[in-house]
Structure 1
Amino acid sequence: MIFQFQKQFPQLNAYWDRYLPLQKRLEIPAKTKLLEEGVVSHQAIYVEKGCLRTYFNNNGTETTVQFFFEEEGLSSLDSFINNLPSPYTIETIEPSVVYLLSRKHVLQLMEELTYETDFLMMFMKITARRLTHYSGEFISFIRDTPEERYQRLLKERPHIIQRVSQHYIASYLGVSAVHLSRIKSKLAKGHLHF
């Protein structure tokens, strides 16, 4: 979501001030679906407070793709940009405060910001960083064992371990909750090493 860049670009406050009133602020409980798999995304989401996850249905089992926390933005990007059905669901997993901005307004804002050279360069860097993160996770999912993926999560994103329920973490790692318990038990006993 575009407003995650607000703190990084205070010189663009005129844009933020103009578009902030067009957002819809929602205070919502856990387990609130903001987008359903198979539905076209028409809103970009900014997380002010809480935690969201993206997941898809895999033959009746929910498979978690990613987690999003405070000051992060998200949407089902391909769906949002290309008007296609979303491949996944977006759902809160904590009571959350989110802002929604319609596709029409996001595209209008992006068009205006294309004239700001500094913004485009930073936007490209941030996008590249996010793509690098996702490709790293994809490679890790193919190359690494579930134990190695859990250790990497502990090292690089410990806030997920601290805030997210174990069954969602297990789903994210591609293992059962029982398997995750075994991994944690081995780690606690010192049988797994970084």
Structure 2
Amino acid sequence: MFFHFKDQFPHLNLYWDKYLPHQKRLEMPAKTVLLEEGKISQQYIFIEKGCVRMFFNSNGDEKTVQFFFENEGLTSLESFVNGTPGAFTVETLEPSIVYLLHKKHVNRLMDEISHEPGFLKMMLRIFARRQMHYNNELISFIRDTPEQRYQNLLNNRPHIVQRIPQHYIASYLGVSTVHLSRIKNKLAKGKPHF
């Protein structure tokens, strides 16, 4: 479950290992919903294998917000922390192996580990990194054209373009699949031919 933390903070392995028996390992097919929009998030999700997307429904149209891959953890954070209905649906896009840790165990773990020196700095670094990522995405969505956003994906996160179906990428970029095809054709024509 906390494998991504184990690598970054090995001095805390005693705590991570203590909660290994409480995690639930699931092998699931693509298109399996892990959290439904409007439901309260009760699980922290860690992806061992596969890909997960987070999206919301806007008048019957799915708007993709984020993609998560191997060795990444996620939850609908506001829902998880505050016990409020979640704003997002989380579903697998590929056959996946995920680990779930219930909120009560996460809370106990956080209580125990919070006494460790450096814990607060560690959590602040993690949240700052994630917040910076979301801020950059928001700024890009406002500032950049869809073509520039697609080019950013190619340059900085090519695994998304390689693994994610085109209609989800179009949703993520805020364009239609037809518009995305035009962008791809335009970029392909602009490439030098040898």
TM superposition score normalised by structure 2:
0.95
2:27 corresponds to: 27
Contact map agreement 1:113 1:120 (CA 8 A) in 2: no
For 1:109 and 1:3, the matched residues in 2 are separated by 14
2:94 corresponds to: 94
TM superposition score normalised by structure 1:
0.95
What stretches of structure 2 of length at least 5 have no aligned partner? Answer: none
Of residues 175-184 and 112-121 in structure 1, the stretch that sits farther from structure 2 once superposed is 112-121
For 2:33 and 2:25, the matched residues in 1 are separated by 15
For 1:116 and 1:2, the matched residues in 2 are separated by 17
1:188 corresponds to: 188
Q: 1:124 is matched by which residue type in structure 2? A: L
What stretches of structure 1 of length at least 5 have no aligned partner? Answer: none
For 2:18 and 2:126, the matched residues in 1 are separated by 23
Of residues 26-35 and 112-121 in structure 1, the stretch that sits farther from structure 2 once superposed is 112-121
For 2:68 and 2:117, the matched residues in 1 are separated by 28
Alpha-carbon shift at residue 46 of structure 1 (Å): 0.3
2:114 corresponds to: 114
1:174 corresponds to: 174
Superposed counterparts of 1:32-111, under 5 Å: 32-111=32-111
Contact map agreement 1:63 1:172 (CA 8 A) in 2: yes
3-state DSSP class of the match of 1:117?
Answer: coil
For 2:106 and 2:88, the matched residues in 1 are separated by 21
Alpha-carbon shift at residue 118 of structure 1 (Å): 2.4
Alpha-carbon shift at residue 6 of structure 1 (Å): 1.4
Percentage identity across paired residues of the two chains? 66
Alpha-carbon shift at residue 84 of structure 1 (Å): 0.4
2:159 corresponds to: 159
Alpha-carbon shift at residue 64 of structure 1 (Å): 0.2
Contact map agreement 2:2 2:16 (CA 8 A) in 1: no
For 2:189 and 2:117, the matched residues in 1 are separated by 53
3-state DSSP class of the match of 1:63?
Answer: strand
Contact map agreement 1:52 1:69 (CA 8 A) in 2: yes
Structure 1 residue runs of 4 or more that deviate by more than 3 Å after TM superposition: none
For 1:44 and 1:13, the matched residues in 2 are separated by 18
3-state DSSP class of the match of 2:12?
Answer: helix
For 1:142 and 1:37, the matched residues in 2 are separated by 25
2:133 corresponds to: 133
Per-residue CA distance 1:129-155 (angstroms, 9 max, x = gap): 110010110111111110011011111
Alpha-carbon shift at residue 2 of structure 1 (Å): 4.8
2:146 corresponds to: 146
